Structure 1
Amino acid sequence: MTSTATTPEEYIAQLPKDRKAPITKLNELIKKHMPEGLEAGMSYGMLGYYVPKSIYPDGYHCKPFPPLPFINLASQKNFIALYHSGMYAKKELYDWFVAEYPKHCKYKLDMGKSCVRFKKIDDIPYDLIEELLGKMSVEEWISIYENTIKK
């Protein structure tokens, strides 16, 4: 579900009542602990945390317009989704997260290559997400992107 909101504040204001508090908490957590150099805004109809064009002017894939995404946060129909491109691109980071998750959450991990789906919004492992945010720098993300994804 993508939103037509143009700002994070508008996105959060449009959320159902039960999603506002966890999305707000995740948004603040991400902004506080995201790698230095990222910017926050809207990206692909979700809350986005991306490498600004001032740092990486090439943008995303062959389109020069959008900045290089790194993390996205969305309220989907049946869950809250956290997308972390670093986990998609770096197997060691993905493996670390999968191994750590059960130590922080009593429910089974529901995850794709980069998307973590939180269906039980009262049991989001905020401490694990905070730790994840410190695992990859903007420079490392750009290098991995250029060497493995952009090709």
Structure 2
Amino acid sequence: MKYEASTVEEYISQVPEERQEVLQKLCKIIKETLPRGFEEGINYNMIGYYVPHSKYPEGYHCDPKLPLPFLNLASQKNSINLYHSGIYAKKELHDWFVAEYPKYSKRKLDMGKSCIRFKKLDDIPYELISELCTKMTVDEWISIYESVVKKK
């Protein structure tokens, strides 16, 4: 689903009512636990957490006008999705998350390369997401991005 919003609050107000509280809680957790330097806003028509141009002027290689993305939240047709670029770019972080997930959720992990899909809103592992958010600083993300992602 695609939402046209210019603020996080506007985005959340457009999603189905049963998802609004979940997105608000996820945003709160992410803002409280992401290391300093990431900013929150709308990018790619999703709630985004990114490295601002003030910290990384080059921006995103696919479109340098955009800040360097790191984490996104989206309300899709059948799920709320969390997109985490660090999981995609750093194998150790991916492996850690996959190993930890069963400790926090009774449901099978539904995951793509960077996308974690939550189809059952009553079983979102908030504590695990909170811990995941602490695992990578802005500087580490920039370094990984430049050495792994940007090369491709």
CA distance in 1, matches of 2:62, 2:103: 40
Deviations 1:91-140 (A, max 9, x none): 00000000000000000000001100000100100000000011111100
Alignment of 1:66-145 (within 5 A): 66-145=66-145
Partner of 1:60: 60
Displacement of 1:85 in angstroms is: 0.2
Deviations 1:40-82 (A, max 9, x none): 0001000000000000000001422000000000110000000
SS at match of 1:35: coil
CA distance in 2, matches of 1:15, 1:41: 16
Q: Is the 8 A contact 1:105 1:125 kept in 2?
A: yes
Q: Is the 8 A contact 1:2 1:44 kept in 2?
A: no
* TM-score for the superposition, normalised by structure 2: 0.97
- Greater shift, 30-39 or 44-53, is seen at 30-39
RMSD: 0.7
SS at match of 1:141: helix
Amino acid across the alignment from 2:37: G
- Greater shift, 56-65 or 107-116, is seen at 56-65
Ranges of 4+ aligned residues in structure 1 off by more than 6 Å = none
CA distance in 2, matches of 1:138, 1:64: 17
CA distance in 2, matches of 1:33, 1:40: 13
Tell me the matched-pair count: 151
Displacement of 1:35 in angstroms is: 1.7
In percent, how many aligned pairs have the same letter? 66
Amino acid across the alignment from 1:17: E
- Greater shift, 128-137 or 55-64, is seen at 55-64
Q: Does 1:147 align with 2:147?
A: yes
Displacement of 1:3 in angstroms is: 1.5
CA distance in 2, matches of 1:84, 1:48: 10
CA distance in 2, matches of 1:62, 1:95: 27
